[in-house]
């Protein structure tokens, strides 16, 4: 709101009956010594959802930056069904994004749940988190960035990450103009796949690509730590085994040297699944395979269950990164953010 309009609001706010959406208590429009315009609860108001000055400053920066880009901006926007409340909701003709300045610590599960609700309403969500989130890898479906906020007297919020350290105002402009990117492994390397090592059939002496593991599966604490299950233990994960069986015809079409995995006779069930030579059908035990074959650097080739080949390597850490050419982006570039 322009300063002149804000001054007009300060003159007649009592007649307007303005209240805070968090608690319904009356509010007063004020301006800080540094020029921030915001609403404050009336004195002695009882509200358990009071916002810190840092949170108010961050929201103001997010909203002002989006407004300068010519985008429609609403603070404290609420869904019609009440399922979400966004700190700053930004609308472009091609997309809508909720910007969240999360200064106080909340469980990661709460952030994920709110992100799901945004997605169900066709809204993207981006989170500026003012604390370290331990053991959380960067995800394309959950843009989460580390926000540093200074002391109350001079917050000076900034975002830090793989793209460097940049003031929140500048970062918001980069985000909304498509200059923030997700960098991670190729899509095929993240899909459920079989991993193989080169071998030779003990009976017919022909070369084979021995399946040693299924990778990129839902993690299982016992049988699939890090989402990798050894081929011999595949029978212990019924859903993964069923997915592999459905994929077998396609896998053996794209790579005829892959031995199929089958259950052994009842007397040998304890040793797990075993492979069968694709040329002579000789059984090949997987029981003595070293544990090292479950690590990417020992794999020779991988195929997704849809039959796409990809080259194994040590996993590259996913991250969000950004580039700043140094010039302020204009409103005409705002549509580029659909590439985020």
- In this prediction, residue 107 carries a pLDDT of 85
What's the whole-number mean pLDDT along residues 112-132? Answer: 93
Indicate whether 335 pLDDT > 50.
no
**Nearest CA to 137 among 318, 320, 314, 340?**
318
Burial state string for 137-147 with b = 16 or more CB within 10 A and e = fewer than 16: ebeeebbbbbb
Domain ranges of the chain: 1-50, 51-185+315-324, 192-307
What's the whole-number mean pLDDT along residues 88-109? Answer: 93
> What pTM did the predictor assign?
0.56
Stronger pLDDT, 31 or 177, i.e. the higher one: 177
What's the whole-number mean pLDDT along residues 301-308? Answer: 91
What's the whole-number mean pLDDT along residues 251-278? Answer: 89
Indicate whether 339 pLDDT > 60.
no
Tally the C-alpha atoms within 13 A of residue 211's C-alpha that lie toward its C-beta. 34
Task: Give pLDDT tens digits for 285-297.
Answer: 988 777 666 677 7
Stronger pLDDT, 303 or 315, i.e. the higher one: 303
Would you list the DSSP string of 3-59? HHHHHHHHHHHHHHT-B-TTT--BEEEEE-TT--EEEEEPTT---TTPPPHHHHHHH
Q: Does domain 51-185+315-324 have CATH number 3.40.1350?
A: yes
What's the whole-number mean pLDDT along residues 148-163? Answer: 84
Cα–Cα distance, 228 to 220 (Å, whole number): 9
Indicate whether 279 pLDDT > 70.
yes
Cα–Cα distance, 250 to 286 (Å, whole number): 22
């Amino acid at each position: 709101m322009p300063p002149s309009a804000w001054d007009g609001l300060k003159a007649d706010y009592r007649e307007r009956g303005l209240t805070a959406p968090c608690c319904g208590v009356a509010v007063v429009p004020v301006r800080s010594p540094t020029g921030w315009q915001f609403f404050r609860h009336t004195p002695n108001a009882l509200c358990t959802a009071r916002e810190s000055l840092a949170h108010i400053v961050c929201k103001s920066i997010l909203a002002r930056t989006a407004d300068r880009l010519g985008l429609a901006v609403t603070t404290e926007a609420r869904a019609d069904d009440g399922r979400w409340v966004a700190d700053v909701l930004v609308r472009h003709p091609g997309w809508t994004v909720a910007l969240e300045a999360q200064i106080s610590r909340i469980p990661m599960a709460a952030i994920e749940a709110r992100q799901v609700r945004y997605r169900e309403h066709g809204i993207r969500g981006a989170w500026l988190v003012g604390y370290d989130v331990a053991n959380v890898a960067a995800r394309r479906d959950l843009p989460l960035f580390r926000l540093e906020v200074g002391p109350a007297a001079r917050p000076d919020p900034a975002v830090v990450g793989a793209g460097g350290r940049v003031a929140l105002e500048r970062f918001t402009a980069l985000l909304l103009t498509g200059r923030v990117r997700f960098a991670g492994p190729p899509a095929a390397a993240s899909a459920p796949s079989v991993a193989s090592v080169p071998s030779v059939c003990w009976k017919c002496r022909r070369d084979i690509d021995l399946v040693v593991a299924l990778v990129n599966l839902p993690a299982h604490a016992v049988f699939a730590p890090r989402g990798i299950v050894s081929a011999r233990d595949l029978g212990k994960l019924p859903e993964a085994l069923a997915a592999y069986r459905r994929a077998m015809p396609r896998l053996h079409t794209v790579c005829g040297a892959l031995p199929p995995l089958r259950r052994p006779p009842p007397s040998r069930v304890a040793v797990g699944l075993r492979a069968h030579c694709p040329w002579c059908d000789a059984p090949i035990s997987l029981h003595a395979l070293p544990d090292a074959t479950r690590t990417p650097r020992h794999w020779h080739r991988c195929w997704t269950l849809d039959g796409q080949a990809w080259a194994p390597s040590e996993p590259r850490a996913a991250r969000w990164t950004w580039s700043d050419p140094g010039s302020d982006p204009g409103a005409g570039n705002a549509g580029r953010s659909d590439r985020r």
